Amino acid sequence: MGAQRGVDEEVFDWFAPSMRVDPHPALHRLRARCWWVLGHEEADRVLHGTGFGRRRERFLEAFRHTLGDGIAYEYVTRRLSYYSEAEHRRLRGTVARAFTPRRITMMRPYITRLAGELLDRVVDTPSFDVLESLAHPLPSLVICQMLGVPEELRADFDRWTTLIPHLIAPKVTPEQLEAGTRAVIEEWACVERLVDERRARPGDDLLTALIDAEEGGERLTREE
C-alpha cells in the first residue's frame, strides 16, 4: 500500500521479513498519514455497514497512473470489484447462479486429494515455502479444475496468475508492466478459445455454467 499521492510515496511490502518480525513501525507510519482499518471486527463493520462508501474514480485514476491506458488498464478495471455498484450487483447475481452449493460440494474430494498431492511433494524435505508449494498452486489448480481448463494449459494459467497480480500493486516496474501485459493478452486469447469451445460443445464445468447463467433475463456478454 502506498502513501497519498502528491505528498511522498512509500510502498509497504507486507510479506517482507521485517514485517513478520515487527510490523508496528510500518503500521505507525501508515496511521500517521491517513485512516486505516486493520482489525477484523472493524473491517467487518466497514464492509457490511451503510456508513462507508467508495469512489470508483479514485481507483481508476490510480491504475491509470501506474498502467497507462493500454490493455493492462482495461483488464484490471474490468475486474468485478471495480465495476459500478449497479453493474456489480447485476454481474454478481448472474455469476452466483453458476456457483451452486452442489458444484462446490462436488469439488471437495478433488481439493482434498490435490492438497495431499502437493504436500506429498515436500513432505520429505527439511523445509519448504508454504506459499510457493501449497498456497499458490492449490487455488490456481482448483479454479482450473472448476472451469474445465485442459491439463496441458494449467501451467500457463498458473504462470499468468503469478504475473498479472503485479498490475494492481501501488508501484509497477516497467518489467512487471511488460510481463503482466503479455500475460493478460495470452490469458484473454486462451479464455476466448475456451468460451468458443464450450459454446459449441457444452460441458459439466463452471465455464459452461457461466455461459448459461441468466439473471433477470440477462446473460453475461462474451467480454464479461
pLDDT at 215: 58
pTM as predicted:
0.74
Higher pLDDT, 97 or 160: 160
Q: How far apart are alpha carbons 109 and 112 in whole angstroms?
A: 5
| pLDDT single digits (tens) 199-214 | 999 988 989 988 888 6
| pLDDT single digits (tens) 189-202 | 999 999 999 999 99
DSSP symbols for the chain: --PPTTT------TTSHHHHH--HHHHHHHHHHS----SHHHHHHHHH-SS----HHHHHHHHHHHHTTSHHHHHHHTSGGGS-HHHHHHHHHHHHTTS-HHHHHHHHHHHHHHHHHHHHTTTTSS---HIIIIITHHHHHHHHHHHT--GGGHHHHHHHHHHGGGGGSSS--HHHHHHHHHHHHHHHHHHHHHHHHHHHS--SSHHHHHHH-EETTEE--S--
- What is the overall mean pLDDT for the chain? 85
pLDDT at 37: 84
Beta bridge partners, 218, equal 215
pLDDT at 157 > cutoff 70: yes
Amino acid in position 212:
D
pLDDT at 69: 87
pLDDT at 112: 96
Of the segments 5-9, 43-47, 82-86, 125-129, which one has the largest average pLDDT value? 125-129
Closest listed residue to residue 134, CA positions, set 154, 147, 120: 120
pLDDT at 16 > cutoff 80: no
| pLDDT single digits (tens) 27-79 | 888 888 878 887 899 988 888 877 777 777 777 888 888 898 889 988 888 87
CATH architecture of 55-219: Orthogonal Bundle (1.10)
pLDDT band with cut points at 50, 70 and 90 for residue 6: very low
Where exactly are the structural domains of the chain?
A: 1-53, 55-219
Least confident piece of the model among 5-14, 17-26, 154-163: 5-14
**Calculated CA dihedral for residues 171, 159, 77, 79, nearest 10 degrees:** -130
pLDDT at 91 > cutoff 50: yes
How many CA atoms does the CB half-sphere of 167 hold within 13 Å? 29
